[in-house]
Amino acid sequence: MKKIAFCFLSVAGWVLGGCSSPPRPVAVDFDQQPEVVNTGLPRLVVTNEVIKSAQANGPWSLTLADFQGDQRSYDTAFYYALAHADLIELDTHNLTDAARTQQWLLQHGATAPIRVNQKATPVQPVSRTWKHETTSSSLTYRATTLCVGCENVSITLHKYGEVQK
């Protein structure tokens, strides 16, 4: 019985304490000398470094078919894969492009070993076909796009490891 009375009084105290008004804020003295808090603007340092996650789970792989270096922007998934990959494979027919791509990857956070696979023939350009049909005739348009001055390199980033369940 004493426990029930104690619990009841405790709950009543909490309820009454919660219903009271909050304390009034301290008034600001505008005649006082102002105090400088920030002496300057924050300095923003732009960097290409990627902070590695302590929990990079695998296995996974990411393939980028037509790597273009700084000619294109990449999403966060690419940079995450670049920083956490266990192996990076470059598929190309031109070793100069592979060396340039390897240098770019190292400058942008790659830490995994990079393996170059030289292909015998150049990677085929992207090809698209559009078909336009009318009642009287059927026309087919074909467009081939080439990246002039771009590396013709395919990148595959691999992460090996156990899948955590």
Q: Closest by alpha carbon to 119, among 96, 93, 97, 151?
A: 93
Is pLDDT above 70 for 28?
yes
Model confidence at 96, in pLDDT bands (50, 70, 90)? confident
Q: pTM score, two decimals?
A: 0.52
Cβ neighbours of residue 137 under 8 Å, at least 6 residues apart?
none
Residue 108: CB atoms within 10 Å? 17
User: Domain locations in the chain?
Assistant: 55-123+151-165
Cβ neighbours of residue 87 under 8 Å, at least 6 residues apart?
112, 113, 115, 157, 158, 160
Any alpha helices (H) in the chain, and if so which ranges? 2-19, 76-84, 95-107
Q: What are phi and psi of 142, to 5 degrees?
A: -130, 130
Give the chain's mean pLDDT.
Answer: 75
Q: Which residue has the higher pLDDT, 43 or 133?
A: 43
Confidence (pLDDT) at 127: 45
Confidence (pLDDT) at 149: 47
Whether 82 contacts 105, CB under 8 Å: yes
Confidence (pLDDT) at 113: 92
